[in-house]
Amino acid sequence: MTDVTARRLTSYAHGGGCACKISPGELEQLVAGLLVTPPATAGTRLLVGLDDGDDAAVTELTGATADGAGLAVVSTADFFTPVVDDAYDWGRIAAANALSDVYAMGGRPLFAVNLAAWPGEGPEGLDLAILGQVLRGGAEVAAEAGCFVAGGHTIDDPVPKYGLAVTGLADPARLMTIDRATPGDQLILTKAIGTGVVATALKGGQAPEDVITAAVASMILLNAGASQAALQAGVRAATDVTGFGLLGHLHRMLAASQAAARIHAASVPLLPGAAELARAGFISGGTRANTERMRGFAAVDPAVPAEIAVLLHDAQTSGGLLLAAPPAAAAALLDALRAQGLPAALIGDIVAGESGHVDVYPARSE
Active site residues: 18
Residues in the chain: 366
**Listed residue (59, 96, 103) closest to 79, CA to CA:** 96
- Bridge partners of 272, per DSSP, are none
DSSP letter string, 193-260: B-HHHHHHHHHTT-S-HHHHHHHHHHHHS-SHHHHHHHHHTT--EEEE--TTHHHHHHHHHHHHHT-E
d(CA 131, CA 111): 20
Query: Which residue type is seen at 330?
Result: A
The dihedral built from the CA positions of residue 314, 320, 326 and 330, taken in this order, carries a sign that is: negative
Task: Identify whether the C-beta of residue 222 lies closer than 8 Å to the C-beta of residue 103.
Answer: yes
Q: What are phi and psi of 129, to 5 degrees?
A: -65, -30
Question: Coil, strand, or helix at residue 304?
Answer: coil
Upper half-sphere CA count for residue 91 (Cβ side, 13 Å): 22
Q: Are 260 and 324 in contact (CB under 8 A)?
A: no
